[in-house]
Amino acid sequence: MLKKSLLLLTFLATGQLVFAQKPLTTNTGAPVGNNQNSRTAGENGPVLLDDVHLIEKLASFDRERIPERVVHARGAGAFGEFENYADNSAFTKASLFNTPGKKTPVFVRFSTVVHEAGSPETLRDPRGFAVKFYTDQGNYDLVGNNLPVFFIRDAIKFPDMVHSFKPSPIYNRQDNHRVFDFLSNQPESTNMLTYLYQDLGIPANFRQMDGFGVHAFKWVNAKGEVTYVKYKWTSQQGVKTLSAAQAAQVQATNHSHATQDLYAEINKGNFPVWELSVQMIKPEDLDKFDFNPLDPTKIWPESIAPSKKIGKMTLNKVPDNFFESVEQAAFAPGTLVPGIEPSEDRLLQGRVFSYFDTQRYRLGGNFQRIPVNAPKVEVNSYNQNGVLSNRTTASDVNYQPSTANPSFTDNAQFNYSTQKIDAETMQRAISKQNNFQQAGDLYRSLSKTEKEHLISNLSGDMSQIRSKEVLNKMVSYFYQADADYGTRLIKALKLDKTQVQALTSK
């Protein structure tokens, strides 16, 4: 109390604000005597190894960087809350969706996908849209993008896809020839490319873009009944994009414009809001369409699966420390709660493993104990030890079941849903590929200006393809989606139309 009074008197007398100072300490809490000069043997002598503070300071500095994310390295994040609208218990036992007005804390990370941590936020790329719900049943991660579909449909292709998108192992720079060389063998990418090469491929900021779960997931109710769902976040700020020319202007002055915009608006009290909606399909209807609804290269048209609004999310707090919250935030599609399960989507199935695996590589086996990743509910687990373990367990029973001390027990009401499977094992593509129809539908829905930008953006990057075979093959995909689409690319790239058309029948 005396110290506070003295500080007040000093401020009143001098007009200068005086801050209460705390002692600088080592990582173990010991006070530091001198943080400006190393301990030496005489004025001009060598620095001594017994300067523990110096050694600790340098050692900590040497280890400040953790491995960069392979994808989604460049990003920003914020805290907020999700408010549920209605009772969805008829479809899922996930508690966050089952009480009208219920509020759940969230952390959201937005990101670019391919580019490195220091890259400009104006580059054409999907944007990651990952939401961590801190529910009363544990954490739930909804890990998606700002575009509704993806390039590939099987996780076995994912490492190759990313390798082609990343810098050349020889020249250490990204090369559109490598990208299209790979995609020319993936006709299912036609839909995603038609989204990406619109101005949608460069969002103006993180607040004014929508988000999608991309994959189908399973909602499971208390009776074990399954409903397949797809998620969409709709920005209440509207969707705003940048043309290629506008992006170049922004990039010339600010390579972190989207991060700056998000944090500035939140700090001003202009909290961004998104509404969450779901589309639903019953298991017995999965085979009723001319495409596979579990294929992540496809959308579910509203005509077959109308959207239902289920809640809204508001972001209202900037992280206190960027590294501790944004860089150490670990999202994984396998972070689920009872009532939500992965579908049989082959890409999602691989992500359920891969995302957990990469977080353990980046952050260690106890990454779920880091504050931004830790659930708000009590964790009762017999997992133990590992780097940076802080479970503070004090029982001799670290196994289950135990007759002597049955502390933690499982509960059948949280079992996975059941599924009857009578099939042979195989390695073959899905039967209903339908690679081009939705891309054609999308192209035909665009305005004249949107089509012009799409052709300009796409032909600009495809002009860097160094193989006529690859170029013709890629254009043939767009031609199969829509003849006008392909013809305009043929003209822009000065190709032989007959050579492209010859590939469309193969």
Say if residue 470's pLDDT is above 90: yes
- Average pLDDT score, the chain: 92
What would the pLDDT profile of 2-52 be if each residue is shown by its tens digit?
445 445 445 555 556 556 688 989 888 889 999 889 999 998 888 888 898
CATH number listed for the domain at residues 2-62: 4.10.91.20
How far, in Å, CA of 460 to CA of 469, rounded? Answer: 17
Say if residue 475's pLDDT is above 50: yes
Mean pLDDT in residue range 51-56: 88
Catalytically annotated residue among 88, 145, 221, 373? 145
In Å, how far are 174, 200, 237, 468 from 436, measured between CA atoms? Answer: 27, 19, 32, 22
Q: By mean pLDDT, which of 28-42, 111-125, 287-301, 303-317 is the weakest?
A: 28-42
Say if residue 58's pLDDT is above 90: no
Q: Which residues contact 213 (CB under 8 A, 6 or more apart)?
A: 142, 143, 144, 230, 231, 232
Q: By mean pLDDT, which of 36-40, 229-233, 318-322, 393-397 is the weakest?
A: 393-397
Percent of the chain past pLDDT 70, that is, above it, reads 95
145 in active site? yes
Query: What integer pLDDT is reported at residue 59 of this predicted model?
Result: 83
Query: How far does Cα 410 stand from its chain's mean position?
Result: 31
Say if residue 457's pLDDT is above 50: yes
366 in active site? no
What would the pLDDT profile of 91-126 be if each residue is shown by its tens digit?
999 999 999 999 999 999 999 999 999 999 999 999
What would the pLDDT profile of 336-378 be if each residue is shown by its tens digit?
999 999 999 999 999 999 999 999 999 998 889 999 999 999 8
What would the pLDDT profile of 420-450 be if each residue is shown by its tens digit?
888 888 888 999 999 999 999 999 999 999 9
Query: What integer pLDDT is reported at residue 225 of this predicted model?
Result: 96
What would the pLDDT profile of 140-198 be if each residue is shown by its tens digit?
999 999 999 999 999 999 999 999 999 999 999 999 999 999 999 999 999 999 999 99
Domains 2-62 and 75-369 share a fold: no
**Residue 155 CB neighbours (<10 A):** 18
Question: Where exactly are the structural domains of the chain?
Answer: 2-62, 75-369, 437-504
Q: Out of 2.40.180.10, 1.10.630.10, 3.40.980.10, 1.10.645.10, which CATH number does the structure's domain 75-369 have?
A: 2.40.180.10
Query: What integer pLDDT is reported at residue 398 of this predicted model?
Result: 73
Percent of the chain past pLDDT 90, that is, above it, reads 75
Confidence category of residue 409, pLDDT binned at 50, 70, 90: confident
Confidence category of residue 1, pLDDT binned at 50, 70, 90: very low
DSSP state of 241: B
Percent composition of the chain: helix, strand, coil (DSSP 3-state, to 5):
35, 15, 50
Confidence category of residue 453, pLDDT binned at 50, 70, 90: very high
Q: By mean pLDDT, which of 86-95, 273-282, 378-387 is the weakest?
A: 378-387
Give long-range contacts, CB 8 A cutoff, 24+ apart: 459-468: 459/489, 459/492, 459/493, 460/244, 461/176, 461/179, 461/180, 461/197, 462/176, 462/180, 462/489, 462/493, 463/493, 464/175, 464/176, 464/177, 465/176, 465/177, 465/180, 465/181, 466/177, 467/177, 467/181
How far, in Å, CA of 89 to CA of 219, rounded? Answer: 10
Query: What integer pLDDT is reported at residue 62 of this predicted model?
Result: 86
pTM of the model: 0.92
